[in-house]
Amino acid sequence: MSKYRLLIVLTVVLAVTALVPAIQAQGGWTPYTEAMLGGGTVQEEARATGPLPEGCPVPAVKDHYVIGMSQANRAEPWREAMDSQIAAAAADYPEFEVIFQDAAQDNANQVSDVENLLTQGIDLLIISPNEAAPLNEVVREAWEDCVPVIVLDRNLVDPNYSMFIGADNVAIGRAAGAYAAQWCADNDRAECQIAEIRGLEGAPPARDRGDGFRAGLADGGLSEANIVFSQNADWLRERAVPAAAAAFQAYPDLDVLYGHNDPMAEGALIAAKDAGVDVGRVLFIGIDALPTPDGGIMSVLEGRLGVTFVYPTGGRQAIDWAYQILVNHVVPPTWVVLPFDTVDPSNAQEVCNTFACPAAK
């Protein structure tokens, strides 16, 4: 061997031996990079031990991976959008197959959906839990069985998962509250009577959207006392209709109707019209802003909702991170926050163009 060749061999050997301890220290896992965040921000950093409990091996290298997706309730348009995004993103990775389950807004169903997916031997679980507490245990079991878990949109009680991805519902609620307060000030509604139609009690976004809203009202000089009516309609349009009917009957001069999602805000609008309310003088607030024909962006453009907020589903991000975890053995941040946008008449056309809603120009 020439001196030159010997030098190259020695350098390679040295470089490899220098790297081995670093890799072993991470248990075969690699740190994530900023570029992988794709517009999201880190709320909780990656765990030093990796995305699985200690003692779990890194995922096996395969040419075909099965991902289980446990959806809380496919009947809701926003959840249908999440599943479609997951399917579209997975189509970009030929080695991925996704099995979708729909719990139909039933916690017990969702527990057995997850158990069923685990029996099928999935390589990774994506779950958007119906409610936090009832799904906590089954997710912990999956994770402790060394199955990577990505939780979307509704968090669990304990962080027994690889990562959580979702928008900041306190911040969205706060923006909604501040908007309501400003609107009342601009429209000379000194009393500013507000009704709230809440999401499912055990789902963290309902609590966060409620708490954030109250903080936003306070930012704008109002208070909890302005909320004259508050009722749960479980995220569902059909349950929001009777709830809002009761609100408009008890308070015919309501100024603001805050629905924790767009379907409930639209249901409230129907109830108000049925009750003969002059809906032109009420601010209807929703959240989701789907770019679909009956989604929130079109609703603002058509003058039904006064304001809504783009609530990203995280479907694409979940699949991209699944690839990083399973194939590249990357340790993701434990909590990634996705950005949201306010949609009101001043920017609805622009948002529609960006998200290719039916009225895009």
Binding site for ligand FRU (CB under 6 A): 72-73, 76, 78-79, 153-154, 199, 203, 205, 235, 261, 287-288, 311
Q: Give the residue with the Cβ less far from ligand FRU, 50 or 314.
A: 314
> Least Å distance between CB 204 and ligand FRU?
8
Question: Residue 108 carries which side chain, given as an amino acid letter?
Answer: A
Determine the 3-state secondary structure of 209 from DSSP: helix
Q: Give the residue with the Cβ less far from ligand FRU, 229 or 235.
A: 235
Q: Give the residue with the Cβ less far from ligand FRU, 204 or 220.
A: 204
Query: What element of type H or E holds 162?
Result: none
| Tokens matching residue 147 | 């199955």
Q: How far apart are CA 133 and CA 55, in angstroms?
A: 26
> Least Å distance between CB 286 and ligand FRU?
9
> Least Å distance between CB 69 and ligand FRU?
14
Q: What residue has token string 């669990």?
A: 156
Q: Give the residue with the Cβ less far from ligand FRU, 79 or 189.
A: 79
DSSP letters of 244-275? HHHHHHH-TT--EEEESSHHHHHHHHHHHHHT
Q: Give the residue with the Cβ less far from ligand FRU, 32 or 311.
A: 311
Residues near 171 by beta carbon (within 8 Å), at least 6 away in sequence: 212, 340
> Least Å distance between CB 123 and ligand FRU?
26
**Secondary structure letter of residue 22 according to DSSP:** H
> Least Å distance between CB 263 and ligand FRU?
6
How many other β-carbons are positioned within 10 Å of the β-carbon of residue 22?
9
